[in-house]
Amino acid sequence: MKQQLNRIIFFFLSGMCLLVSSNNVLGMDAVEQLRSTTHVVNDPSTLTQIRVTWQIPNGYTQVNGYYYSFDNNQTHTFTELNTNGVSFGNYYDAVSPDYSSVDDTAYYFHIAAEDISENIGPTSTIGPFRIDTVAPKNALVSAPSVIYNDAVTLTLGATGAIDMYVSNIAYGTAGTWESYNTNRQWIVTPGKGIKTIYVQFRDDAGNIAKISTTTRVAYQQIPLHVGWNLISYATNRCFYVGAKPTIEGIDSLVYEQITSIGKALETISDTYSIVHGFDTQPRTYNPLNPIASNMTYLAPGYGYWIKIKETASFDTNGYIYLDIGGEPLDPGHYIPLNPGWNLVGYTGETVRYTGTVPDILFSDDPEMTSVTNLLADAFCSISDTLLIVQGFDTEPRSINPENAIASNMKYVGPGFGYWIKIEDGSQNVRLYWNDRYAKD
């Protein structure tokens, strides 16, 4: 094809000169019905090739062919000076090059018809056609390394994402797509231990990036029945209202200030009527009158009486469950005891029992250890100063060193609390529930 130079025909009318192009006097029209059969204008797509079709310009029965191109320019005009090397054909569709591995890039299609006299008509442009084959970048999800219940705050991010999908099971399983956000409150699967959280990020072309994270759920679950329960917990958190207490004997304790003792008991909210404790004097928390209550902290190493209402939603075994978040205590800790009565918590690692395995639900399904004598095993660190031990499961239990036959306490274990009476005048009495740390 040659470069077309307009041939000028001189018409002399009334002594004047008029210059007219050899094109149709009315001018070449643009192509008709220009459209894409593969892409929607300005909608991202993962299809890597664009196909467009068109029809002959209005009023023409023949054209020599069509100049066309795909590029990233929003505007373009074909002229007789810029068509060398440009695609040219006499068909009615065109397919772009394969635009693979592009990240939301806009392409335009330009076309102009040439008539049989090699005159170029107006250029028509359609686009942008956005092609995106790259998943959202910089995907991230993070969670605290340890959480104390099943709720976790996720920090998320992905460049170019508009949606996200979070799951506890697998990528794209048992969840729903939701709008992208950089923070998400999430509930992990029930139970303690390592939890994996799977996250997908999706851009508006449908490309998906995947990433996961893990967190560990750490808490102690204490079963409670209707009526009075004498309980304790053995995680490394102390909850307090007002002034921070000092808890002797337990290193690396995490102190958490709360607005009310009820905050630490949220998993049994509205199911208990009263809580009693004892340090150097009786302490009480009444959920109906927290201002008048004098209990200002809950801590491991102490025992607590909790009364559960008959209206609580018990499971089929007749229990509700108090969850106290935290890590297990260092086994080398001790509980200081004063002369007289002490209300202490069990912080040992196993259930110790005499006789048959106790048919009772303990906190967190601990290991069972058979012993010959509870007094000599569980209480060996205070045997010289111990006067009596009292406990309670469904009925009162006791150990009396002076009357072993009358003693009916057959086990001690996690989740229970105990009254322990120490001889008057005793000093530096330390209870080590884990007997291998007992001091002489």
Residue 207 near residue 305 (C-beta atoms within 8 A)? no
Return the ∠ at Cα 62 (arms to 56 and 66), rounded to 5°.
55
Average pLDDT over residues 379-399: 95
Residues found in the chain: 440
Q: In the CATH hierarchy, which top-level class contains the domain 11-131?
A: mainly beta
Q: Lowest-confidence range among 21-35, 50-64, 117-131?
A: 21-35
Same fold, 11-131 and 137-217: yes
Confidence (pLDDT) at 180: 98
Q: Which fold has domain 137-217?
A: Immunoglobulin-like (2.60.40)
242-267: pLDDT as tens digits: 999 999 999 889 999 999 999 999 99
Asked if residues 256 and 239 have their Cβ atoms less than 8 Å apart, the reply is yes
- Other Cβ atoms closer than 10 A to 289: 9
> Pick the residue with more confidence: 9 or 356?
356
Every domain of the chain and the residues it spans: 11-131, 137-217, 220-437
Q: Which of 250, 200, 195 is nearest to 218 (CA)?
A: 195
Read off the pLDDT of residues 121-176 as tens digits, 9 standing for 90 and up.
999 999 999 999 999 999 999 999 999 989 999 999 999 999 999 999 999 999 99
Q: What pLDDT score does 437 carry? A: 60
Q: Assign 249 to helix, strand or coil.
A: coil
Amino acid in the structure at residue 378: A
Q: How does residue 349 score in pLDDT terms, banded at 50, 70 and 90? A: confident
Helix, strand, or coil (residue 205): coil
* DSSP SS3 for 404: helix
* Residue 434, pLDDT score: 87
- E strands in 250-358: 254-257, 272-278, 282-285, 297-298, 304-308, 320-325, 335-337, 340-345, 350-353
Q: What is the structure's pLDDT at 18? A: 26
Query: Which letter does DSSP use for residue 409 in this model?
Result: -
pLDDT of residue 25: 37
Given a cut of 90, whether residue 20 has pLDDT beyond it is: no
pLDDT score, position 13:
30
R_g of the chain computed on alpha carbons:
41
Residue range 219-227: average pLDDT? 97
